[in-house]
Amino acid sequence: MKLEVKTLRYLTSDDFRVLTAVEMGSKNHEIVPVHLIIQTANIRHGNVQRCIAELARRNLVAKECTSKYDGYRLTYGGYDYLALRALSKRGTVVSVGNQIGVGKESDIHVVADADGHERVLKIHRLGRTSFRTVKNNRDYLQGRHTASWMYLSRLSATKEVAFMRVLKEHGFPVPIPYDHNRHCVVMEFVDAFPLRQITEVAQPGKLYAELMDLIVRLAQSGLIHGDFNEFNILIKESGVPTLIDFPQMVSTSHANAEFYFNRDVECIRTYFRRRYRYESALYPKFTRDATREFSLDVKVSASGFNRKQLKELDEYYAERGEIAEGEGSEDEDEESSDDQEEEDGTESETGSEEQTTSDDEEGKTKPPTATPTTMSVPLVDELVTIDKAVGALTISD
């Protein structure tokens, strides 16, 4: 899904009013009736039609006809626009550069803030139609209006940012969260490479111990990452790991906590065995009664979430996981990491992200080489400035 930043420049404040009206209307309507858009936008009738046509032309809204009425729904593009506009008003994102990652459920861009600092923009895209589970997802999403892609993506971003804040405050190696709006998170750009791309580690035992220690410290704080794999661990040139990707984190009080904890541990053990030929008899085991040092899970829950929301997101991730597991091995790139290692040594892809580098193929079939891993910084070759002067309406978040 392409982020059309340039669009931001061309919309008038009336266009924006109409777009906002569609967003507001979609809280109660799957397809927002035209009369409701006209009523909410509160601008001249004739103008509304013109604005809608313009928004539809730019793919920010899409026309849908039901048996009862004609209406519009907000597209991902429209939602992106609204979020970016809010972020640009606050100066946390004023230009958008290269896309540096495409996860199954997010797009990652390098962006710049008003002071020219490089940041990462993570756009959450839950329930997007590009992966094979589309049918199941549609069925799932259609059943409940509140579980629409917009709602889930926003919830996922909100949850991620809440976890990042708490983790950062407690000294965990995670990116600094700077801002958040709707389904978008602005965070520190970590100048590092995913462990997946590191072909050789000088002291695998040391890194292994550090990562296991991280899993244990999280659990002692009441948390389990839930997707602790080689794609979500970034390694700086100094060798220091940074953990990313938090929407699926669960509390150690979760009913399946032990399963998630063991899966995280197993993921690292498997990866180190395959990739670095490193194996250790030492690995942490989950004990439900372990004394906690903090209760960060409780702290996060207290920061603007209700149980129902967390449960909904939880269900989504659990359901997605089950669907992926049930799909068989041909769907390798799209599976979330699991604990079923191929004992015959076939190296199937089990990470949860789509691959973004071509040298991955090579790396996974060869034993580690003696050559150091090349590290290159993602270059921002196209900076698109967001025009902050567009429109005069303020978005209330």
The contact set with ligand ADP (CB under 6 A) reads 100-101, 103-106, 108, 120, 122, 175, 187-190, 194, 231-232, 234, 244-245, 352-353
Nearer to ligand ADP, 71 or 351 (CB): 351
Q: If binding is defined by CB under 5 A, does position 188 make contact with Mg ion?
A: no
Q: If binding is defined by CB under 5 A, does position 232 make contact with Mg ion?
A: yes
Q: Which does 175 bind (CB under 5 to 8 A by kind): Mg ion, ligand ADP, none?
A: ligand ADP
- Reading the block at residue 165, the tokens are 């804040």
Helix axes 13-25, 34-41, angle to 10 degrees: 120
Residues in the chain: 397
Considering only residues 251 to 310 of the shown chain, the ones binding Mg ion according to CB under 5 A are none
Of the candidates 160, 179, 188, 245, which one interacts with Mg ion according to CB under 5 A? 245
- CB 106 → Mg ion: shortest distance, Å? 7
Q: What is the DSSP string of 219-272?
A: HHTTEE-S--STTSEEEETTS-EEE---TT-EETTSTTHHHHHHHHHHHHHHHH
Nearer to ligand ADP, 148 or 336 (CB): 336
Considering only residues 350 to 389 of the shown chain, the ones binding Mg ion according to CB under 5 A are none
- CB 16 → Mg ion: shortest distance, Å? 32
Nearer to ligand ADP, 80 or 245 (CB): 245
Q: If binding is defined by CB under 5 A, does position 229 make contact with Mg ion?
A: no
Taking the CA atoms of residue 145, residue 317, residue 363 and residue 343 in that order, the dihedral angle to the nearest 10 degrees is -140
Assign 3-state DSSP to the chain and report helix, strand, coil percentages, each to 5: 40, 15, 45
Residue appearing with tokens 């015959």: 344
DSSP 353: B
Nearer to ligand ADP, 56 or 383 (CB): 383
Q: What is the DSSP string of 144-212?
A: -GGGSHHHHHHHHHHHHHHHHHHHHHTT-S-PPEEEEETTEEEEEPP-EEEGGG----S-HHHHHHHHH
Nearer to ligand ADP, 15 or 334 (CB): 334
- CB 122 → ligand ADP: shortest distance, Å? 6
Which range, of 15-23, 237-245, 291-299, 337-345, touches Mg ion by CB under 5 A?
237-245
Nearest by Cα to 27 from 66, 74, 85:
74
- Catalytic-role residue among 80, 227, 264, 314: 227
User: Does residue 227 carry a catalytic annotation?
Assistant: yes
Determine the straight-line distance between the first and last CA of the chain, rounded to whole angstroms: 24
Q: How many residues bind to Mg ion according to rule CB under 5 A?
A: 3
- Catalytic residues, by residue number, are 227
